Amino acid sequence: MIARPGTVAVIGAGVTGVTTAYQLLKRGFDVTLFERNRHAAMETSLGNGGQISASNAEVWNSWANVSKGIRWMLTKDAPLLVGPYPSFHKISWMTSFLRAIPSYEKNTIRTVELALAARDALLGMAADEGIDFNLEKRGILHFYETKAEFEAAARVSELLAKGGLTRLPVTTEEISAIEPTLKGVGYA
């Protein structure tokens, strides 16, 4: 039996809610989008970096990140902090995190496939609706401070390639050509 489109309530008008509501509308649903703020996208969707990128799709479930997380717990200005006090929610979250480590490769490939599809869908919606938002398609430069970090990123690139995403190392000259305001950066 094919379900007939009905009425759907979408709660939260961030990028997830707005795009979900849009897609449901296109499929014939009667949609009401609820938002507790006065305007749409006033929370996380307002304060992000504005990157429409599939290249950060590497999942975080790895032993390298576990050891980084423990070091960050002892670092005052760590970019992400996990409070040391245990709670049921925290312990069950951490257990799930650790149990997903063996699926790191498979999950990274599936995530990059999803990220590429999501990027296409988002850009498709913008094109269909004629939304101009100063889109740049020059790619995103990732910088690494050590040779080891650079080599680790190259291994991740191989994994991302299996999901259909190309990430390439670039030379100093290529960096300047992509972004002329950057001078004297590259790898030695």
Q: Which residues of 18-57 are buried (b: 16+ CB within 10 A; e: fewer)?
A: bebbbebeeeebebebebeeeebbeeeeeeeeeeeebbeb
158 SS3 class: helix
Chain centroid to Cα 174, Å, comes to: 25
Q: How far is CA 74 from the centre of its chain?
A: 26
Instruction: State which residue has the least CB distance to ligand FAD.
Output: 14
Out of 48, 75, 92, 95, the residue judged to bind ligand FAD by CB under 6 A: 48
Fill in the per-residue mask, 132 to 171: x = in contact with ligand FAD (CB under 6 A), - = not in contact.
Answer: ----------------------------------------
Q: Which is nearer to ligand FAD, 19 or 172 (CB)?
A: 19
Over the window 17 to 36, marking each residue x when it contacts ligand FAD by CB under 6 A and - when it does not, the resulting string is x----------------xxx
Judged by CB, which is closer to ligand FAD: 49, or 84? 49
Work out whether 51 is an interface residue with ligand FAD (CB under 6 A): yes
The CB-of-120 to ligand FAD minimum distance in angstroms stands at: 14
| 35 neighbors 12 (Cβ within 8 angstroms) | yes
Residues for the chain: how many in total? 188
The H or E element that residue 9 is part of is: strand 7-11
DSSP, collapsed to helix, strand or coil, labels residue 146 as: coil
Q: Where does this chain touch ligand FAD (CB under 6 A) — which range of 43-51, 63-71, 164-172, 174-182?
A: 43-51
Q: Minimum distance from CB of 54 to ligand FAD (Å)?
A: 9
Distance CA 79, CA 64 (A): 16
Is position 44 an interface residue for ligand FAD (rule: CB under 6 A)? yes
Which residues make up the interface to ligand FAD (CB under 6 A)?
11-17, 34-37, 41-45, 47-51
